Structure 1
Amino acid sequence: MIAQRTARLTTLLALPAALALTTALPAAAHEGHSGTMSGHTYQVDLAQLNKSGAHGTAMLSIDGTKLTVKIQASGLVPGQPHAQHIHGSTTGHDFHCPTAGADKNGDGVVTTAEGMPAYGDINISLTTKGDTTKGSGLAVDRMPVATKDGSLSYERTITVSPAVADHIKDLHVVQHGIDTNNNGKYDFNKGKSELDPKLPQEATAPTDCGMVMGAAVGSMPVGGVETGSGSTEGIESPGLIAGGGVALLSAGALFVVVRRNRHRAAAETR
């Protein structure tokens, strides 16, 4: 009789733990699925580089492999085309916007080549039409042109790879084009561009850069020990952690009750 009662209690107390685990596991599987970025919009605040005075906001909306990019920027060189790209890696490298310290030759300008070790290579060229690959990175004839007051408005929907869709939070936006001598146009004041000698350095140097807001929160660390903290934050599913906690509490309660019943049964048989 006592054994039957103990078995029933064991079964009833095990149910919450089992339910907690079965609830947490599908949530964990969903959160780790490659489509978790679908239907999300991310904000990128563009801050000036090279003391350009440029700033703006980019909105990245991902739906499956369709990426819609909207950019509103100001403080740009008026009437000039501004090359713009999504930079970074989808394979685990930790890239970010450069600082003034990236100016290795001390000429006062962080060039594209000097900034690239910080913000990575071109992933997507944000052209107004046609090709959007790295090959169109300097397609100035298809880049947006700033208005006479130095503002720029851009919107385009692009088909991207699943890797870009899954790692959009690891990427960032860079716009290019500065005016170091304030004459209202690109000239060779800072020499030739190291990317294309037919272009002035001013035309290709970065003018602003921005990373996805909150990218470090809840984003899985990549790149091994260089970016991982060794803690559970940002690695395990929150649902799984919560579910596991409930399961452990239920299991603890189960152990206490079973142990208590065993002692009671032993006392009754004496």
Structure 2
Amino acid sequence: MQVYQAKLVSLNEQAIGTAAHGSAVLVVNGDQLVVTIEMFDTPANQQHWEHFHGFPDGRSAAIATMAQDANHDGFVDLPETEPVSGTTMVPFNDQPEAMDIPNDKYPVADANGHFAYTKIVPLAQLSAEFKKAFNDSELDLDKRVIYIHGVAPELDLPATVAGAVGHYDQHVTLPIAVGKIEAVPLA
């Protein structure tokens, strides 16, 4: 068994008016990956996309900070995270092993901005789909970062905020929290 964790800290809190924070624990146990994510102070009553991001070439990803606001519009949008965090890799939705990222099957925060997500993922299927998507890359969890996304649709975003994916606009993809996945030493 191997345990990984990430402390999820807020990103874009000045611009969105709330400091989303939480934690993630990923446990590799035999042929399963158990993912548990709990978030607080997210934008309330809405769905939040959550994924791990990284580099297919095996480089270690880092979390984005306001230093990544390349166009100085006051927001770190999804494309601005890519130089330090890489690409979106695995979704934490209703079926992570399917690697179907743009959909409406992610957790929804309650009226207090809280949500808890737990999923048991078949590791062999996830690894196979991951290798297909990323040229035989390994999951390498300790080289990845987790992002939580999503702000209220009525939030006024400047035209400079990018990150639309299909018919999902920047409100859906704007990062609100991020954390580096780290291996937990087992005693």
TM-score tier by shorter-chain length is 0.7 to 0.9
- Structure 1 residues 157 and 171: alpha-carbon distance in aligned structure 2, compared to 1, 3 A threshold: same
From 125, 129, 135, the counterpart of 2:91: 125
- Amino acid aligned to 2:101: G
Aligned residues: 167
- Amino acid aligned to 1:48: S
**How far off is 1:208 after superposition?**
0.5
**How far off is 1:102 after superposition?**
0.8
**How far off is 1:93 after superposition?**
1.2
Match of 2:112 in 1: 149
**How far off is 1:73 after superposition?**
0.5
Q: Which has the larger radius of gyration?
A: 1
Q: Confirm whether residue 168 of structure 1 aligns to residue 141 of structure 2.
A: yes
Question: What SS class does the counterpart of residue 76 from structure 1 fall into?
Answer: coil
Question: What SS class does the counterpart of residue 189 from structure 1 fall into?
Answer: coil
| 8 Å Cα contact 1:187-1:200 kept in structure 2 | no
- Amino acid aligned to 2:35: V
| 8 Å Cα contact 1:45-1:213 kept in structure 2 | no
- Amino acid aligned to 2:44: P
Q: Confirm whether residue 59 of structure 1 aligns to residue 28 of structure 2.
A: no
From 72, 96, 109, the counterpart of 1:106: 72
More off after superposition, 91-100 vs 203-212: 91-100
Question: What SS class does the counterpart of residue 81 from structure 2 fall into?
Answer: helix
Q: Tell me how far apart the structure 2 counterparts of residues 87 and 81 of structure 1 sit (CA, whole Å).
A: 19
| 8 Å Cα contact 2:52-2:145 kept in structure 1 | yes
From 170, 176, 180, the counterpart of 1:207: 176
Q: Tell me how far apart the structure 1 counterparts of residues 61 and 96 of structure 2 sit (CA, whole Å).
A: 27
Match of 1:44 in 2: 6
- Amino acid aligned to 1:138: P
From 163, 179, 186, the counterpart of 2:153: 186
| 8 Å Cα contact 1:110-1:206 kept in structure 2 | yes
- Amino acid aligned to 1:176: H
Q: Which runs of 5+ in 1 are unaligned?
A: 1-38, 179-184, 218-270
| 8 Å Cα contact 1:44-1:57 kept in structure 2 | yes
Please show how residues 15-34 of structure 1 align to structure 2 within 5 Å.
none
Please show how residues 216-231 of structure 1 align to structure 2 within 5 Å.
none
Please give the root-mean-square deviation of Cα atoms over the aligned residues, in Å: 2.3
Question: What SS class does the counterpart of residue 78 from structure 1 fall into?
Answer: coil
Q: Which runs of 5+ in 2 are unaligned?
A: 129-137
**How far off is 1:197 after superposition?**
6.8
- Structure 1 residues 41 and 112: alpha-carbon distance in aligned structure 2, compared to 1, 3 A threshold: same
- Structure 1 residues 189 and 132: alpha-carbon distance in aligned structure 2, compared to 1, 3 A threshold: farther
Q: Confirm whether residue 137 of structure 1 aligns to residue 101 of structure 2.
A: yes
Match of 2:42 in 1: 76
- Amino acid aligned to 1:92: G
Percent identity, aligned pairs only, is 25
- Amino acid aligned to 2:116: S
- Amino acid aligned to 1:124: V
- The Cα offsets for residues 161-211 of structure 1, whole Å up to 9 and x where unpaired, read as 1821xx221122111013xxxxxx323621475323743422211010111
Q: TM-score with structure 2 length normalisation?
A: 0.79
Q: Tell me how far apart the structure 2 counterparts of residues 83 and 111 of structure 1 sit (CA, whole Å).
A: 14
Question: What SS class does the counterpart of residue 101 from structure 1 fall into?
Answer: helix
Higher helix share goes to which structure?
Answer: 1
- Amino acid aligned to 2:176: T
